[in-house]
Amino acid sequence: MKKYLFFIFSILIALVILFLFLSYPKITFVIKSPANFTITDFLGDINLTRDGKEISLKEIPFILEPKDEININPFSGLTILCKNSTLLLFHPSTNFSIGDNFINLNRGYLEWKKGKVGTEIHFKNGFILYPSEAGSVNVDSKITIISLKGISKLKTNEKEESIEELKKLTIDSGKLTLESVEKPPVILSPKNGEVYGDWKKDFGTFNFSIDYSGYEQFQLEVSPDPYFLSTIFSVFFKEKDSKISLERIGTGRRFARVIPYKGKVSGLPSESVEFFVRAFPLSNISAKGTPPRIDIYSVILSGNIVIVKGKVDRGCKLFVNKEEVSPEPNGEFNVPITFNDIGEKWIEIEAISSSGIRSSKRQRVFLVGY
């Protein structure tokens, strides 16, 4: 009888959760100035409507056109790349709209990375935020702005407020309160783009190392998406250096972050890092002495941003305009490049095999402005 009642109760709970999910309002917005933005959908659950047809984004930075309508499902996330190469990560349930060159943030949580001059975040009360190099803002009954790197600027009706590095500004009923925050941990390993695997067997371990102080313990979370909507692996540590079994992480693209704790009180999470886990040998990539192959699938222009998509032989180091980038485990790459002016430009792609053999390709593009 108890098992039967538990089963009925579980079904009811599931129906309630389904009802809440379906009744949660979807976010729909139209980009006014598509040349200023490209978007990325890591979860593959955002649809773009163009000429009455739905297009799935699925991770690729997508070049927008006028009158494109974007539909974001509840509990999803979205990454926007501004024309000045500022990354904006919109977290689930964030309500926002996009103007000609700015973001209207009505409700929810937003992170920014690689912030550069020209990015503006507007609030309902008329305040304007000019983000620093990295930080976050949360809007609910009050506005909380945290500057992690550089100095953010907040323009109010009366003056301009500076938010220095590792400072938090709270706006509550028009009152501004500035206070310090403790430095979040830094993940030293894994690093962005690293690939892990033990080629003598299916799985091995990867080294996990962080830099932090002032906390009693920390929680490591590994997720298949940068919004950490689902967690594959979560564990508490006190040691700064450990080894994690890849068998518990699985294969594919993974994101890791660290949340520090003092007792039960959590601090600011670390910046997430991206890495790949794969479980196949690298012995048959190519014969020794053979130059690695480089294929360019497409070159997309968006203002002063060029997005190059292609594929290189597995196991090669890849450089685009002399900067090292990390291809996917299967060798595919998708790289945005920002130029400071218009005109004729060259994109140089170089691959170096594990035996040191080099090959390269050059691609000419013409930038005509925004």
Q: What is the pLDDT of residues 316-366, one digit of tens each?
A: 889 999 888 888 777 788 888 888 777 788 899 999 887 888 888 888 888
Cβ-in-10-Å burial (0-12, 13-18, 19+) of 126 comes to: exposed
* HSE toward the beta carbon, residue 200, CA cutoff 13 A: 2
pLDDT tens-digit map of 79-130 = 777 777 677 877 766 777 777 678 888 888 888 887 877 788 999 888 999 9
Say whether pTM exceeds 0.85: no
Q: Which of 22-31, 109-118, 292-301 has the lowest mean pLDDT?
A: 22-31
Within a 10 A sphere around the Cβ of 177, how many other Cβ atoms? 11
Show the tokens assigned to 329: 């485990």
Mean pLDDT over 58-87 rounds to 69
46-50 sheet: strands from edge to edge: 27-30, 69-72, 46-50, 53-56
Q: Which of 275, 242, 270, 229 is nearest to 113 (CA)?
A: 270
Task: Write down the domain spans for the chain.
Answer: 25-180, 186-277, 294-367
The whole-number average pLDDT for the span 1-22 is 51
Cα torsion for 302, 74, 134, 114, to the nearest 10°? Answer: -20
> In sequence order, which residues have a C-beta less than 8 Å from that of residue 44 and are 6 or more positions away?
56, 57, 58, 59
- Percentage above 70 pLDDT, the chain: 76
Nearest to 335 by CA among 349, 314, 352, 353: 349
Question: If you average pLDDT over residues 281-289, what whole number do you get?
Answer: 50
Contact 222/193 with Cβ under 8 angstroms?
Answer: no
pLDDT per position as a tens digit, 198-222: 544 555 678 889 998 888 899 999 9
Domains 186-277 and 294-367 equal at CATH topology level: yes
The answer to whether 92 and 75 are in contact (CB under 8 A) is yes
Per the CB < 8 A criterion, the answer to whether 72 and 94 are in contact is no
Q: Does domain 294-367 have CATH number 2.40.30.10?
A: no
Looking at the domain 186-277, which fold is it? Immunoglobulin-like (2.60.40)
Tell me, which fold does domain 25-180 have in CATH?
A: Jelly Rolls (2.60.120)
Strands 152-155 and 128-130: antiparallel
What is the predicted pLDDT for the residue at 316?
84
Give the number of other Cβ atoms within 10 Å of residue 153's Cβ. Answer: 14
Question: 34 or 187: which carries more pLDDT confidence?
Answer: 187
Token representation of residue 25? 């309002």
